[in-house]
Each structure stands twice: as C-alpha cells, then as structure tokens.
Amino acid sequence: MAHEFKTQRRVSFAETDCAGIAHFSGFFRYMEDAEHEFLRSLGLSVQHESDDGSVVGFPRISAHCEFSRAVRFEDVVDIHLWLSGRRKSVLEYSFRLSCEGQEVAIGELVVIACRVTPDHALEVADLPAPFADQLEVAPYGPLEFRSRTGKQSGGDS
Amino acid sequence: MAHEFKTQRRVSFAETDCAGIAHFSGFFRYMEDAEHEFLRSLGLSVQHESDDGSVVGFPRISAHCEFSRAVRFEDVVDIHLWLSGRRKSVLEYSFRLSCEGQEVAIGELVVIACRVTPDHALEVADLPAPFADQLEVAPYGPLEFRSRTGKQSGGDS
Amino acid sequence: MAHEFKTQRRVSFAETDCAGIAHFSGFFRYMEDAEHEFLRSLGLSVQHESDDGSVVGFPRISAHCEFSRAVRFEDVVDIHLWLSGRRKSVLEYSFRLSCEGQEVAIGELVVIACRVTPDHALEVADLPAPFADQLEVAPYGPLEFRSRTGKQSGGDS
Amino acid sequence: MAHEFKTQRRVSFAETDCAGIAHFSGFFRYMEDAEHEFLRSLGLSVQHESDDGSVVGFPRISAHCEFSRAVRFEDVVDIHLWLSGRRKSVLEYSFRLSCEGQEVAIGELVVIACRVTPDHALEVADLPAPFADQLEVAPYGPLEFRSRTGKQSGGDS
C-alpha cells in the first residue's frame, strides 16, 4: 500500500509570466503531473484500462492551491504528494510545494473515477481494483487552507 | 462603483485534453482573464502603474475551483465574476461558469496588491486608489464550496 | 468560396513570460484558434463528423513562425489568415500578425485530413466535401520566410 | 566546446488534446526546454546576467517544426538538440524528436541575443562571451524541412 510520493520539477521559461514569476496556473499542472507520476510508480495510469476494455479516468472535481512565495525561472520545486482522502469513487490528494526548504504553496486535487460511455459522456464508477488495492490514506492531518479555516491571508489586518 | 462582470469564452482546441474535455487548469486562466477584462472595463490594469512610477501587481494567494460538468472543444462558457471580498490589500473574486444555462464550475481567486521592489522582490501594498475608488463588494453571499462546507462531492455515499 | 479571414486577439497575462513579452509558443495557438474561427465562420469544424459517423481531424504536419516584434500583456494582435495551398488531403494556411499596424510575426500551418480509426490510429483521408466545396486558395503569393529564401535574420551581417 | 545535447521528456496529460495526442504547440516548449537544459549543462542561462548587471536574453526569431507521428499521454520523447548555426548575435538550434526509436518530429529554433534596455525594449547584442566561448556548430548537415526543399508532405500526390 502506498500513500505518498515525492518528486521535483524545474520551472520552465514558458511557465513564467511578465511579473517575472511562475504563473499560478502552472502549479495545478505540477500537482497533476506529480499525481500521475505517483500512479506510474505503482504501475497504474490515470487513464485506466479495465479488463472489459472500458477506460476509467479521473476528472477533477475540485482543485485548490494557496500560494505563499513566488518561484522563478529555473527554480527547482520539491513536491510532496500524499493521499489525504479516499472513498468509493473519490481520491483526494494533498500537496506541499517548497523551494530550497521554504514552502511555496499547498494544494489539493479531488478526483472522481468515471467511465467514459460509448457516447463520450462520463459516468461515475467505483475505484478500479488496482487503485483500491494499492492506495491508502496517509497518516497526516488534512491541509489547513486559510480559506477553509476562516483565517485570511497576507499581511492585512 | 462596480462589483461584477459577465463575459464569454469559447473552448480552444489546445485547451482540451485526451479525455476529450477542457483541461481543468484552463478554468483558472478563464477566471484570471475575466478578472483582467473586468478591470480593463473600468480603465484599470492588473499591472498598475503608480504615479511614482512603481508597478503594483496582484499575485494570487489562493485559487480554488470546483467542477460539476465537462465542457468540450468549441463550447461557449458564460463567466460571471463578482467581487466577494475586499480588504486593505486583498481582493477576492468569485466566479460562476456555465454552458448553455447549466453550471459547469464555481471558482475563487484571492489576490494581494504587491509592489515590485527594485531587486524584483514582492512587497505587500495597499490597494491603489483607483481600485479602492471603483471596486465594491457585490451584494451576493459567498460561494458554497463543497470542501469548505464539509459536504463532499460526486455520487459517493 | 472563402480564402481568408481576419480576427483579433488580446495577449493574456498567462501568455507572457519573464522576459515581459508574449511567449513565442502562444503564437501557434493564436494561429490555430484563428484557423478554427475561420472554419466556424463557414459552418465547418476542424473536428469534422462525416456522414458515415467517422471523425476527420486535421493534425498539423508543419508549423512555422518568424517573429519580428514583441507583443506584451493586453496588446491586441490583428491576425490575417489566408489559405495559401490546397491539395487532395492537405491545407496550407498562412498568417500575418500585426499590432497597431506593425507586423509582429508571419506564420504557416500545414494540416492534413486524417480519419481516426477505431483503434485510435490516424489515417490520411481526402478533404471532406464541405471543405473542398468552400475553401479556395487565396490570390496572394506565398510567405517569404527568411529561412526559406536563405536570407537570414536580425541585425547580423 | 559543446555542440549537442540529448534529453528525454514524458508527455503530460495537460499537453494532450481532444484528438488524443500531444498538441503540436507543446513541441515548441519541449525544444525550448531542451535548449535551456543544454545551456544549464554548460553553466549558462538563457537569461544571461552580464558583468555590467544588464541582462541578455534570447528571443526567438524563428520557430519551425515538422511532425511525422503522433505521441500520446505518458509516451517518452527522446530529444536530440544540436547547434546548427552560429553568427555574431544569432544561434540556430536543430532538433530531432523520436519515440521508441521512431522519428516523431524535426524542428528548429533561431534565437537572437538581445539586451533589455531600461525602458524594457529589446536591443540586439553580441553573443555573451561565455556563449561564444563554449558553443560551436555541430558537424551535422542542416535539417531538410519539406517546406524548405520544396518536397511536400503526407500521402498526397
């Protein structure tokens, strides 16, 4: 059983913006790529081919990130992913991103197993057996998002 | 005083993914672009040039989106933005995205006014006067995110 | 019969990079989006559903852009597309991008009609009839790319 | 003196499109990231800080790619970069991208050294000394682009 994964990522030039820092939307791609790398490390794919030939994917139902420091071109971001929730069809991944030992962001992706129907609609499905067999919730508390706790952010009073 | 803005956006081919739907990270760009369009409609820019020549920008300190339906290539997304919070340095924008009358996502961006220092660091600043003069909080309640209310999502029990 | 199209596009914040200008890769998305808008204006889609239910798409076989000026956040780019070549399966689009009357880039996309086979492979197909019926080559000469004419670029001798 | 570099890249989910393949615009980012990785391997950065404190960057003046095969989510792309041209201010990089031993694309980026002036304009500059000292043209012939040789592509006659 696995519950966490660590990886690194270097900020690309194209990921920066004219404020000179990595654009915030890229953090969601970092988190998703880390999720997929975690699954690959277990022999799983986020595009799961079932035994019956159907494909189960994991569309995101929630994505959340809080940013505390900027990162810049060529910075290396350390990404710590852990599974913070698991239900019949839903996986909740939490992320802590840091750079040179300082936290830069925390994030969360909530995804739901869906089977793609022949007419390209999405239909909620149970977690595929290899996911259910190998993934367990990490022994860490949930992330404390400022917006969830009611504490607001950033130097204001 | 302004507190809301409505715009539209058509899903680009490059914004879709191999699940056949718009990739979730694009919704954060949609929301940000709508914010900038709202500001432009008031003669403001998210890269604000102060009278003293310094630039005040608005890095995001939180970005959150919950997704309820997929959208696809060439779908037109209706975006409703409103200012759901305002403090000394912080603006909180809420978003409701729909397609053909059906909600597809709700989202929130929290941004903080920062002055770029000569050595390219970011320093919290007050809202520039033209922002403070023209922006007011909308008379709508806050968004009810599933993750904030504790209600979880998506067909599981 | 149609052979050209004009549209506009405003540079998004996320499309800029830490050099303070629109990242070059975004120009390819601008060109592609203009192509799709051109087709839509004719009632066509780049994802063409044939009468037999199969889908014909247009993967790119060549993409080329030469850049002469930078554009920045909130600049409005004028895009002029014209059909510069057409063969049995291939369409060649040329593009001139300008900003405030000054050329910023020229580009070319060459695309090939392909049917997606049941096992997700791509198979070259004839131009679908509605494309063949409505698209004609523009009465303009081909673009003179520096690299094609052997003239090299940019202030060097 | 260095003239080439090899690296690998795995196709991300967000880089795919609804045709089920990696979107073509991503190849330009792959090429650019490989260029920057090549420079880093030599202790150089594409954002070069000169001894006088000014920054020399390398905006692209031409970007060209020809595509021969599709790649998909989780495919690993082998990237071979070589320096195919070098003049006073200009570097020309050529690329061959392959997957499991089969060529998927060839490409070219032509970049020009520019100093950013205090008013944020770009001004052509000589190659910085560490670039001139370490980079040499590779002993390979130039790429034969179909569009350059006049041979057109793709199953048509």
User: Which residues of chain A lie closer than 8 angstroms to B84, CB-CB?
Assistant: none
CA atoms within 13 A on the CB side of B26: 24
Q: A151 burial class (0-12, 13-18, 19+ CB within 10 angstroms)?
A: exposed
Check C36 against B13: CB less than 8 A apart. Answer: yes
B&C contacts, CB < 8 Å: 30
Mutation choice for A interface testing from C16, C17, C119 by most A CBs within 10 A: C17
Q: Is D88 an 8 Å CB contact of chain C? A: yes
Residue B106: the pLDDT is: 98
* Nearest by CB: A74 against D29, D32, D45: D45
Check D25 against B14: CB less than 8 A apart. Answer: yes
Element (H, E) at A132: helix A129-134
Q: Is the pLDDT of residue A119 over 80?
A: no
Q: What is the ipTM of this complex?
A: 0.93
Q: Is D49 an 8 Å CB contact of chain A? A: no
Task: Provide the token pair at B131.
Answer: 């922002």
* Nearest by CB: D47 against A14, A47, A73: A73
Residue D116: the pLDDT is: 83
Q: In the structure, what pLDDT confidence band is assigned to residue D150 with cuts at 50, 70 and 90?
A: low
Among chain D residues, the shortest Cα distance to C154 is held by D112
Q: How many CB atoms lie within 10 A of CB D102?
A: 10
Q: Is B18 an 8 Å CB contact of chain D? A: yes
Mean pLDDT rounded to a whole number for chain A: 92
Cα three-residue angle B12-A77-A29, rounded to 5 degrees: 20
Q: In the structure, what pLDDT confidence band is assigned to residue D137 with cuts at 50, 70 and 90?
A: very high
Element (H, E) at D95: strand D90-99
Residue B88 · residue A156 · CB < 8 Å: yes
Q: Is the pLDDT of residue C156 over 70?
A: no
Active site positions of B, annotated: 17
Q: Is B147 an 8 Å CB contact of chain A? A: yes
Residue A82 · residue A91 · CB < 8 Å: no
Q: B129 burial class (0-12, 13-18, 19+ CB within 10 angstroms)?
A: exposed
Check B33 against C45: CB less than 8 A apart. Answer: no
Residues A16 and A25: their CA atoms lie apart, in Å, by 10
User: Which residues of chain A lie closer than 8 angstroms to C21, CB-CB?
Assistant: 18
Q: Is the pLDDT of residue B105 over 70?
A: yes
Mean pLDDT rounded to a whole number for chain C: 92
pLDDT tens sequence across B1-59: 999 999 999 999 999 999 999 999 999 999 999 999 999 999 999 999 988 888 999 99
- Name residue, tokens 């037999």: C52
Mean pLDDT rounded to a whole number for chain B: 92
Q: Is the pLDDT of residue C42 over 70?
A: yes
What is the per-residue DSSP string for D19-46? Answer: TSSB-THHHHHHHHHHHHHHHHHTT--S
User: Which residues of chain A lie closer than 8 angstroms to C20, CB-CB?
Assistant: 18
Q: What percent of chain D has pLDDT over 70?
A: 94
Check D18 against B17: CB less than 8 A apart. Answer: yes
Q: Is the pLDDT of residue A153 over 50?
A: no
Q: In the structure, what pLDDT confidence band is assigned to residue D96 with cuts at 50, 70 and 90?
A: very high
Going by C-alpha positions, the residue among C135, C128, C139, C141 that lies closest to residue C56 is C128
Q: Is B28 an 8 Å CB contact of chain D? A: no
Check C19 against D116: CB less than 8 A apart. Answer: yes
Q: Which residues of D2-23 are buried (b: 16+ CB within 10 A; e: fewer)?
A: ebbbeeebebbbbbbbbbbbbb
Spatial CB neighbours of A133, under 8 Å, sequence gap ≥ 6? none
Q: Is the pLDDT of residue A156 over 90?
A: no
Residue A27 · residue A74 · CB < 8 Å: no
Mean pLDDT value of segment A123-135: 96
Q: Is B21 an 8 Å CB contact of chain D? A: yes
Residues A69 and A98: their CA atoms lie apart, in Å, by 9
Q: Is the pLDDT of residue C151 over 60?
A: no
B117 DSSP assignment = P
Mean pLDDT value of segment D8-21: 96
Mean pLDDT value of segment B83-91: 97
In single-letter form, the type of residue at position C94 comes to S
Through-space distance between the first and last CA atoms of chain A, rounded to whole angstroms = 44
* Nearest by CB: A13 against D12, D13, D32: D32
Q: In the structure, what pLDDT confidence band is assigned to residue A147 with cuts at 50, 70 and 90?
A: confident
Task: Provide the token pair at A14.
Answer: 């194209």
To the nearest whole Å, the CA of C2 is away from the closest chain D CA by: 22
Work out the angle between the directed axes of helices B25-41 and A25-41 (0-180°, nearest 10): 180
Residue D57: the pLDDT is: 96
Mean pLDDT value of segment C87-93: 97
User: Which residues of chain C lie closer than 8 angstroms to D59, CB-CB?
Assistant: 19, 21, 24, 67, 70
Mutation choice for C interface testing from A10, A18, A72 by most C CBs within 10 A: A18
E strands in chain A: 4-10, 48-49, 55-57, 60-67, 76-86, 90-99, 102-112, 114-116, 122-124
Check B18 against D14: CB less than 8 A apart. Answer: no
Residue A151: the pLDDT is: 55
What is the per-residue DSSP string for D122-155? Answer: EEE-PPPHHHHHHB---SSPPP--HHHHS---TT
Q: Is A47 an 8 Å CB contact of chain D? A: yes
B127 versus C53: which is more confidently predicted? Answer: B127
